[in-house]
Amino acid sequence: MKHIAIVGGGTAGWMAAVLFAHIWRDFSVTLVEAPDIPTVGVGEGSTPALKKYFDFLGIAESEWMAATGATYKTGIRFAGWSGRADYPDYFHAFDSALDLHTEPAFLYNCDMRRLGIAVQAHPDDYFINARLAAENRVPVPDRQFPFATGYGYHFDAGRLAGYLSQQAAARGVLHSRARVTGVPVDASGIARLQLDSGETLVADLYVDCTGFSAHLLQGALAEPFVSYEDQLLNDRAVVIGLAPESPAPVYTRAEAADCGWIWKIPLAHRTGYGYVYSSRFCSPAQAEQSLRRHLGVTDAVPARHLTMRVGRRARHWVKNCLALGLSQGFIEPLEATALNLVQTTIEQFADSWELSDFTDTQRQAFNQRVNDHFDGVRDYIVAHYLASARRDTPYWQAATAVPASDPLAPLLQAWHQAGDLRLLLKQPQYDRFYAPMSWYSLLSGYGCFLPGDQLRPGSDKANRFPVQTIRQFLSACATHYPGVGSDSTIHQ
Ligand SMILES: Cc1cc2nc3c(=O)[nH]c(=O)nc-3n(C[C@H](O)[C@H](O)[C@H](O)COP(=O)(O)OP(=O)(O)OC[C@H]3O[C@@H](n4cnc5c(N)ncnc54)[C@H](O)[C@@H]3O)c2cc1C
C-alpha cells in the first residue's frame, strides 16, 4: 500500500486529503498539522471548479453550503477600475450554457465597436449571470429550464477546512497534530518527516501544504521562487468582517481604491471585506484606516493584517514532493483563483501519477502545465491594471506602467489596434485558463474603445445583433431563476 503524507491543515491540505483518499482508496493518507501555526483562513471566493470538486466527491450542495455558511456566486462586479467616466463598472460573469445564444453577439459587437462603429458592447448586457446578479437571483433554474448555469460560491475558509477535515476522517485519512521539525533529504527527495512529537513519518509522496513558508519544497528541497512582484504590486491585505446582508448578493464586489482594491464577499453569517494593497505605497495603518473609512466602522471592529508572497515555485512537483496551495504560489485574489489552482494541480497530478508513477517526463509535463496555468492567471490579473486609464495616485501610476509578458503584450495590442483577437486567442499560448469571453468582458467593461463622439453609425450588417433583443431574451430567461430568499437558496 502506498502512503501519502500531507503537511498542512489549511484549505489546500484538507482539499488534497479528501480528494486523494477518494481517488486512491487503496492508499493510506496522513495529514500532519502544526496546532501552533495558524492557517491563512481567508479566501472566501471560488470559481465554478469548486462545484465540480464537491460533485465529484458526491457531496450535496445543501450539505456543505450549510456547513460553511456558503452563498452562491455568479461572478464579480468590478467598480472604479477603468478610470473612464462612461465605464464606472462591469460584471465578469461565470460562463453558462445560455451564453451560446448571446456570446457570439457580444464578441461581434465588441469587434464592431473596436472598429469604431457605435454598437452597444458592454458585457453587463450579454450574460445571464450578469442579469442574475442584477436581479439577485439564485443561479439554479427551475426544472423546466434545461440550461446549466456556471456558478461558484462564497464560503467561510475556516469552516470549509473544518468541514473537509470531517470528510477526510470519514474516508480514513489519519490526522496528526504535530509540527514537522526536520525534513532529511536523500536521492529520492524527502527521506522522512521528523515531528516534534518524536515520531517519524515515511511516505511514498510528500505533499507540501505548509502555506507561504513552503517548508518542504523550499525549506528542504530549495526549489526557487519565481516572483511576480514586478508585474503585480500588491503584497498585503487587511480584512474586516461585518454583519451579513439579507438577502445576500449573489456576486463578489471588487472596488478599486487609492493603493489597491477592496473586496466584498457576502456569506450567510458575515460579510467579509478586505483591502488588498501595495506596501510600497501605503502602510498597514493607512490601509486599515482607509478600509475603516470605506466601511464607516471604528477601531472597535477588529481587523486582521496579512502578508502575501506573489509568484510561484519554479516547479511544483520535485522528486517525491508535490506543493499545493500557498506553498506552490499565490496571485492576488482579484479573480479568486487560488483554490481553483489547488484543485487543478491535484487533478493533473493524479492523472500524471496514474499514467506513469514518478517519471521525470511526467513531472516535466506536469510542471509546465501548472506554470502555464499560473502565468495565464497572472497575465489576466495584470491586464486589469494595464487596461486602466487611472493615473490619479502614485500607486495607479506605477500599477498601470508594469511590463506586460510576451503573450500579454500582443493580446492587448491586438485589441487596441482592432486586430483579429479571436484568431490570436486560438493560439496555444493563450489556452491558459481565461477564455475569449473573459478577455472581451474585461477590455469592453473597461471601455477600451474610441471615445463615444468618434464612433460612427454602422451598416445593417454591423448592427445585426441589437442589444435590445439580447436584453429581452435574458430578461425572459431570468424569470426561471428564483430570487435569493424567495423559496430556498440551496437547491440540491
Ligand atoms: C488576502 C488573501 C485573500 C485570499 N482570497 C482568496 C479567494 O477569494 N479565493 C481563493 O480561492 N483563495 C483565496 N486566497 C488563498 C487562500 O486563502 C489559500 O489558497 C487557501 O487558504 C489555502 O491555503 P493553504 O492551505 O495553502 O495555507 P495555510 O492556510 O497557510 O495553511 C498552512 C498549514 O500548514 C501548517 N504548517 C505550516 N508549517 C508547518 C510545519 N512545519 N509542520 C506542520 N504543519 C505546518 C499550518 O499549521 C497550517 O495548517 C486568499 C489568500 C489571501 C492571503
The grid coordinates listed for 12 are 489546500
Does residue 66 share a domain with residue 12?
Answer: yes
What residues form DSSP beta bridges with 180? 195
Q: What is the pLDDT of residue 491?
A: 44
Q: Which atom of ligand 1 is nearest to the CA of 252?
A: 8
High-pLDDT (> 70) share of the chain, %: 98
- Calculate mean pLDDT across residues 225-240: 98
3-state secondary structure (DSSP) of residue 428: helix
Q: What is the pLDDT of residue 430?
A: 85
For residue 262, what is the enclosing H or E element? strand 260-266
Does residue 338 share a domain with residue 475?
Answer: no
Alpha carbons 368 and 380: distance in angstroms, whole number: 18
**In this structure, is residue 116 part of a structural domain?**
yes
- 68-80 pLDDT, tens per residue? 999 999 999 999 9
The alpha carbon of 342 and the centre of ligand 1 are apart by a number of angstroms equal to 11
**In this structure, is residue 306 part of a structural domain?**
no
User: 89-93, 107-111, 362-366, 396-400 — which is least confidently predicted?
Assistant: 362-366
Does residue 408 share a domain with residue 366?
Answer: no
CA 431 to each of CA 126, 307, 334, 428, 466: distance values in angstroms, whole numbers, following the listed order: 23, 31, 20, 5, 30
Does residue 407 share a domain with residue 471?
Answer: yes
Alpha carbons 141 and 298: distance in angstroms, whole number: 41
**In this structure, is residue 44 part of a structural domain?**
yes
Does residue 176 share a domain with residue 222?
Answer: yes
Give the pocket of ligand 1 (CB within 6 Å): 7-13, 32-34, 37, 39-40, 42-46, 157, 179-180, 209-211, 213, 215, 237, 274, 306, 308, 325-327, 333, 336, 338-339
Q: What is the pLDDT of residue 487?
A: 54
Does residue 169 share a domain with residue 60?
Answer: yes
Looking only at the bridges linking them, the beta strands covering 321-323 and 205-208 are parallel
- Calculate mean pLDDT across residues 423-443: 90
The alpha carbon of 329 and the centre of ligand 1 are apart by a number of angstroms equal to 10
Give the structural domain span for 323. 2-72+154-226+313-374
Q: Choose the residue to mutate in 32, 44, 153, 209 for probing ligand 1, maximizing ligand atoms within 8 Å of C-beta.
A: 209
**In this structure, is residue 250 part of a structural domain?**
no
Q: Assess whether 461 carries a catalytic annotation.
A: no
Instruction: Find the radius of gyration of the CA atoms of the chain.
Output: 23
Q: What is the pLDDT of residue 481?
A: 96
**In this structure, is residue 200 part of a structural domain?**
yes
Residues for the chain: how many in total?
492
Does residue 25 share a domain with residue 117?
Answer: no
The grid coordinates listed for 242 are 461585518
Q: What is the DSSP letter of 403?
A: P
Alpha carbons 333 and 264: distance in angstroms, whole number: 12
Does residue 412 share a domain with residue 475?
Answer: yes
The alpha carbon of 368 and the centre of ligand 1 are apart by a number of angstroms equal to 23
Q: What is the pLDDT of residue 428?
A: 85
Kindly report the CATH number assigned to the domain that includes residue 170: 3.50.50.60
Alpha carbons 72 and 162: distance in angstroms, whole number: 20
Q: What is the pLDDT of residue 489?
A: 46
**In this structure, is residue 254 part of a structural domain?**
no
Of 226, 213, 220, 218, which Cα lies nearest the Cα of 194?
220
Give the chain's domain count. Answer: 2
Alpha carbons 231 and 19: distance in angstroms, whole number: 33
